[in-house]
Amino acid sequence: MDLVETLTQNLSGFSSETLIWINGIVSNATRAVGLYLVGILLVLELAKMFEKANASNAGIVTLKMFQGLAFRISLGGLAVAMSSFVLHFILTIGIGLANLISRFAGAAFDVFALPSVEVPTDTLSIIGEMLSALLNPTEAVRRGILVLLLIVVGALVTLAAYVMVWVIVLLRFFQLYVMLALMPIPMASFASEEHDHIGKNYIKRVLAYSFQPAVIMVVFGVYHFLSELTLDLTGLGNPLNVDMEVQFFQNLILAIVFIIVLWQTHKKSSELFGV
């Protein structure tokens, strides 16, 4: 899996047929409903304006009140009409951030990396390690098995991570298509100062999904550097040397944490925008 290519797809690139169908739904259904809702909010705002004038301004409606109402209604109508553009624009910003991160990532997205090995460099030390391993072959075999287990764990983590990324991407685009289809309806709330939090929260959720790929890339990079492993093969026959066992369990725990954090990337992305 090409992680960067997978995470930087737009709605058209992921499924152009779905996007065409969604655009038809927006043009022929939800945008019209959104404009109807703007009209309903106009009536409610007019009623509230006259009520406010009667309560505090001796029933006199000023030009300033109408200016505020006109601004709100214009904002609501514009938000409904431009809802698709807003979502695509936000998604483009999120993709741009992901591309910027990937440009300077180097090998940070390589989850599966073979451990580097430290061995004695002088001849006497090498001979000593070989004799130690021959005198205690059980310990040497056990440590060899641990090395193999570390490699197997790394491969399994890589497989699980890529499967999870694909599931996350599928869920993300599913949500974005649905949100695009319905977006004109909550955008109508900008016609009312009292209810505009609905549209603001909707945009925040779009932002969360749009920036999730960048969060996933950061999680991959952090795991890559934290999981870098150097195996010290000195003391293979020494049963008191437990460094390799410690490294094994450290990497096992780190792998579990990585999978958990990877699944929670949408939550972390939502926190960026207070959702």
Q: Is 8 helix (H, G, I), strand (E, B) or coil?
A: coil
Q: Which of 255, 253, 248 is nearest to 231 (CA)?
A: 248
Residue 117 DSSP one-character state: E
Query: Other CB atoms closer than 10 Å to residue 22's CB: what's the count?
Result: 22
3 within some domain: no
4 within some domain: no
d(CA 188, CA 82): 11
2 within some domain: no
Q: Are 215 and 101 in contact (CB under 8 A)?
A: no
175 within some domain: yes
Q: Which domain holds residue 22?
A: 10-272
| Helix, strand, coil % over all residues of the chain, rounded to 5 | 80, 0, 20
Q: Is 263 helix (H, G, I), strand (E, B) or coil?
A: helix
| Total of domains in the chain | 1
Maximum Cα interatomic distance, the chain, rounded to a whole number of Å: 103
Per-residue pLDDT of the chain (275 residues; tens, 9 = 90+): 688 888 989 999 888 999 999 999 999 999 999 999 999 988 888 877 777 766 666 666 666 667 878 888 899 999 999 999 999 999 999 999 999 998 887 777 766 555 555 555 555 555 555 555 555 556 666 666 777 777 787 778 878 888 898 999 999 999 999 999 999 999 999 988 888 899 999 999 999 999 999 999 999 888 888 877 655 555 554 554 556 667 777 778 888 888 899 999 999 999 999 88
228 within some domain: yes
Q: What is the pLDDT of residues 63-95, one digit of tens each?
A: 666 787 888 889 999 999 999 999 999 999 999
d(CA 61, CA 53): 6
**Residue 44 CB-half CA count within 13 A:** 14
d(CA 133, CA 68): 84
Q: CA angle, 251 as apex, 247 and 253 as ends, to 5°?
A: 120
Q: What is the pTM of this model?
A: 0.80
